[in-house]
Amino acid sequence: MKKPNAKERILETAAGLFFQRGYSGVGINEIIEKAGTAKASFYQHYPSKESLCEAWLKSVHEKSEAFAETLLGGPGSASEKAAAYFEHLERLLVESGYRGCPYSNTGALSVEKSPGICRQIRLHKESTRRRFRQIAALAIADPAEAELVGDTLFVLQSGAMGEAQNLRETWPVEVARRAAVALLER
């Protein structure tokens, strides 16, 4: 703790603010003020606000990947892994005040986002899709069928996060979890 350097402090502060209020809802001035740095220091480390957004999405992705790897590497059947994943999401959702998926929230802005931000979103989403396909492959022998089920889990998860955010309720996640388990145990 104590005092990480300015760059890390900026990233951590921005991560909290971007997540809670969205990329377009937070300004540079607030970020540097809460991070306790000067504006000049900010622009020494990040050429623009967009580049900070990219760095934020990248750091979220790394944490997400770490969780997915421990989950996939651990014990349990495919449906148990999927259920654990959805329960994890539900926990995050409630803890964060129903803030949903950072990537989807960022992607919902204008079309004219920077190519770098769009790329981070695609990378994360494709990676998540791959994870679900891996889980599905554990339970389903036919490769084509496993891919379809994996993609379905991916869509279910995304819809669950989005609608839980819109309605500020957890039932979409529970519904998605039950559907996922049913698909994997069939």
Interaction site with a copy of itself (CB under 8 A): 20-22, 24-25, 97, 99-100, 103-105, 107-112, 121-122, 125-126, 148, 151-152, 154-160, 162-163, 165-167, 171-172, 175-176, 178-179, 183
- Least Å distance, CB 39 to DNA, is 4
DSSP secondary structure of 102-136: HHHHHHTS-S---HHHHHHHHHHHHHHHHHHHHHH
The amino acid at 22: G
Closest approach, Cβ 162 to a copy of itself, in A, equals 5
Contact 52, 37 (CB under 8 A): no
Q: Which residue's CB is nearer to a copy of itself, number 6 or number 139? A: 139
CA dist 49 and 106 (Å) reads 13
Cα of first residue to Cα of last residue in the chain, in angstroms, is: 48
Nearest CB to a copy of itself, comparing residues 7 and 125: 125
Is 43 a binding residue for DNA by CB under 7 A? The answer is: yes
By the rule CB under 7 A, 34 interacts with DNA:
no
Q: Which two tokens stand for residue 83?
A: 């259920």
Residues at the contact surface with DNA, assessed by CB under 7 A:
5-7, 26-30, 36-41, 43-45, 47-50
